[in-house]
Amino acid sequence: MRTASVSLDLDNLWAYLKTHGDPEWERRPSFLSAAVPRLLEVFGEHRLTTTVFVVGADAERDDGAQAVRDVVAAGHEVANHSWGHEPWLHRYSRSELEAELVRAEDALVAAGAPRPVGFRGPGYSVTPALLEILASRGYRYDASTLPTWIGPLARAYHNRTARSDASGDLFGGFGKVFSPNKPFRWHGTGLAELPVTTMPLLRVPIHGAYLLQLHQISPRLARGYFRAALRLCLLTGTAPSLLLHPTDVLSGAEAPGMEFFPGMSVPGAEKAALLGWVLSVLRQHFDVVGTGAHVARLSELIPQRRTELCG
């Protein structure tokens, strides 16, 4: 059976508020104690082993460390999602990038996870220097690319209610549509890249926030959209790598201050049911694993390309 993967970016409430320019982020509000048990329950119901990209700053706090222990105990991979979850790593110097990675690694290991071998940049932020550092530190893969043309549109949607210009060039430019939608190796480092899959041919996102936006319009529309994406994946030989977030199972009341985010008017139980349906349909066509296992299975088949980073 073909392989697909599921990963979870364990972005916390404070991280969303920080990116949005809300000064309340400095209180470090958290929804991990509500989100993590619910997500692990859904994964358990579908007998899935996934990858959870954890922010180092959260792993240093009590509820985040507990989340790491629970994720590891349930058999999921823990990967690096940076220390401070700033979606502008492309502005960091080389020394700042390395310090960011090392601090996050130390926090994850101290919380009880094995040393991470996978990385995803916040906001899909990746640079040649970052890739070189990842390779030198023994990482096996990166998962920071989102090959779509809608970055500027998503940024405009976000910035309509943002309280500052902190988001900068969040989500990248239209040029990302030319990025590969299938796994590849970065030229020069040999590091494997597992893109967050977008709908083949159309290159529009298919992960949680976008499905929930459609679900608010029509549940039938959201399900038809996801089924169409899977059909195109099968037709084009694309092994999907599906991205999830805690907001995929949380209600607006459980994430105060995030009214700006897509899908927050949908009740948490309804969101969890949609996620369960998505995972069930995915498992009908694919053997679903975490991103690390996905890369390992495809390792000998992943081509090396002279791929340039697109803005």
| Model pLDDT, residue 168 | 53
All structural domains of the chain, each given as residue ranges with its CATH number in brackets, are: 3-305 (3.20.20.370)
The Cα 54–Cα 140 span in angstroms is 17
Residues 6+ apart with CB under 8 A from 56: 80, 81, 82, 83, 84, 103, 104, 105, 106, 107, 108
For the segment 248-291, what is each residue's pLDDT rounded down to a tens digit? 999 999 999 999 898 999 999 999 999 999 999 999 999 999 99
Report the DSSP beta bridge partners of residue 98: none
**Beta-bridge partners for 185:** 192, 304
Q: How is 219-262 classified by DSSP, letter by letter? A: HHHHHHHHHHHHHHHHHHT---EEEE-GGGS--GGGSTT-TTST
Tokens, residue 78: 């823990």
DSSP state string for 67-125:
HHHHHHHTT-EEEE--SS--S-GGGS-HHHHHHHHHHHHHHHHHHTPPPP-EE--GGG-
The pLDDT tens digits of the residues spanning 94-124 come to 999 999 999 999 999 999 999 999 999 999 9
pLDDT of residue 163: 61
Task: Dig out the tokens for 246 from the structure.
Answer: 């805690």
The span from the CA of 194 to the CA of 95, in Å, is: 25
pLDDT at 302: 81
Residue 140: per-residue pLDDT: 97
Low-confidence ranges of the chain (pLDDT < 50): 311
CA angle 175, 160, 176 (to 5 degrees): 10
Q: What are phi and psi of 78, to 5 degrees?
A: -105, 125
Burial grade of 47 (CB within 10 A; 0-12, 13-18, 19 or more): exposed
Contacts of 108 (CB under 8 A, 6+ apart): 54, 56, 59, 68, 78, 80, 115, 116
